[in-house]
Amino acid sequence: MGKEIINRVAQSKLITFDLEELYPEGRREVLDIKDWLHEGIILREKEFRSALDEQDWSAYQDAYVALTCSTDAIVPGWAFMLVASKLNPFAKKVVIGKLEDLETSLYQTILEELDLSPFKDKPVIIKGCSNKPVPENAYIMAMSKIQQVAKSVMYGEACSAVPLFKKK
């Protein structure tokens, strides 16, 4: 009879940190303001405000919204602020940028509030694979946060982790 196989990974004190578990559920929307610009490039304030007043903002109820302008229009900052003021009563969060910028902003908020006590003086592995759209910046933010307290930080899976940091 051979030796019993021991799962050393399961017995280790290694803590796996999975950003996917923090993914905030909810609908994501990209709102392109080009449709409210004259010929898609010129902001005429009166027409712009009128178009916003006619918009059904309840369609964005409980959504995460990324505001963008897909044309080369020069858009004054107040225009995005005005759109955000219309969205704020309905949307969970509004940012300027692409979907990845929205996801980064969501993770930034989540990671700022993260309780670090479970990672204190422990070896931590930040799980690398995800089925949800976890932005690259979230991994950097997680690393920066966890590194403050962890004994060591690795990236990947327990069976093939890449060492990133070890406390001296």
Cα(28)–Cα(93) distance, rounded to whole angstroms? 10
All structural domains of the chain with their residue ranges:
8-24+115-166, 28-91
pLDDT tens across the length of the chain (168 residues): 567 654 444 446 899 999 999 999 999 999 999 999 999 999 999 999 999 999 999 999 999 999 999 999 999 999 999 999 999 999 999 999 999 999 999 999 999 999 999 999 999 999 988 889 999 999 999 999 999 999 999 999 878 889 999 998
Closest CA to 168 of 153, 151, 154, 143: 151
Its pTM stands at 0.84
Report the SS3 class of residue 113. coil
